[in-house]
Every structure is written in C-alpha cells, then in structure tokens.
Amino acid sequence: MMFDQALDGHPGWLDLAGTAPRPLPVARWHADADDGDDVLLDACTGPTLDVGCGPGRLVAALLARNVQALGVDVSPVAVRRTTDRGGLALRRDVFDLLPGEGRWQHVLLADGNIGIGGDPAALLLRVRQLLRTGGTVVAEVETPGSGLTRGQARVRAGGEPGPWFPWAWSDADSVPADGFFRLWHRERAGRWFACWERL
C-alpha cells in the first residue's frame, strides 16, 4: 500500500502534482497524541470513527479517555499498528459499508485526511451518511487562505515513489460542506482544525 513504508517508520514525502513535496509527519503518527491532537480529542465525547487512522494514536488516546473509538484504514500496516496499541481498527475503505452507519457521534479526518479520494465534497457526503443527526466531523485543514487543491499525489518513502492516487488539500473556508454547519475553526501548535455539525 502507498503509505505502508511511512507507517513502518520510514521518512516519507507526499507529492501532489504541481506543488512542492511535503514531508509526512511520520514521527508524530507513531508518537502518542500531542497538544495539537488535543483539539481533535477534546471534540470527541462519544462514539468516534477515525477515518484513515494510520498507526492509531488517536484511537488509543480516545480509548484512554473512555471514549468508544474505531479506526478504519485501507492499509494492513495501519490496522496492525493500531491493534498493537490496544485500539480497534478495520481494514476498510471509508466508501465501503462500515459498522454503525448513521449512528456515529463523531468522525475524525486528522492529518489532512479531508483529502481522501481527492474530492472533499464526496468524502463529506459519505461522512454525513455515517454520522447521526447533530453529529460532528472534526478535520485537520490547511492554513487559512490556502484554498482547495485537487490532483494526483504519490508517496515517496524508503525507495521508489509509489503509484499516483487522487488527493486534495483544503482550508476550512474552501471545504464544500453541504449539509453541515461549521461550529468552530482554530489553530493549535501550528496546525489548523475545523468542526462541522451534521444538519
């Protein structure tokens, strides 16, 4: 899988066509949740689905807070590392059938996962199906003024670059969040986050 080498701890970069390569925050993924992550964690008070959970730092942190949490990721390495931390995770695409459809209180899109599939509008439409009415999606977004960038991306980690796949980056104001109401938008530790409520 495209992120597996990075998930195994190798330094990596994400190339989005037409933009400068970005280093992947591999060390943060493997560490315990940090001050920036607290913005995400504090927003989750009930059953939470972590989409693109990676090695499971947020799932583990939520369980330590006695919040029910499930990670989903297409990477078998991510699922294994999450379960190794004592978390629960499924190897599943967010667009596949998932447990608890329409009943989740929160969905997390951390670490830029608003870009999954290269179409934030389609992703949030799917997230809306997963959430109960009044549930929230909490996402890590780009710096204000960055706009929305969509295109083909690839991961470079531990060797030759991987295959191209659709990805997107978006600031909070550019996220096409139809069917949601934005509750807040804030910065912590140099990272930006936003939360939308499902109408």
CA separation for the pair 133, 129 (Å, rounded)? 10
For residue 26, what pLDDT is reported?
Answer: 86
Render pLDDT for 70-108 as a digit per residue (tens, 0 to 9).
999 999 999 999 999 999 999 999 999 999 999 999 999
Greater confidence, 188 or 160? 188
| Domains along the chain with CATH numbers | 4-198 (3.40.50.150)
Q: What is the pTM of this model?
A: 0.95
What b/e readout covers 32-53, taking b as 16+ CB neighbours within 10 angstroms?
ebeebbebbbebbeebbbbbbb
pLDDT at residue 62 greater than cutoff 70: yes
Render pLDDT for 5-57 as a digit per residue (tens, 0 to 9).
777 777 889 988 788 889 999 889 989 999 899 999 999 999 999 999 999 99
- The closest alpha carbon to 17, from 181, 151, 185, belongs to 151
> Which residue is it, tokens 């870009």?
115
CA separation for the pair 144, 39 (Å, rounded)? 17
Residue 42: CB partners within 8 Å, gap ≥ 6? none
* Structure tokens, 69: 């949490």
For residue 72, what pLDDT is reported?
Answer: 98
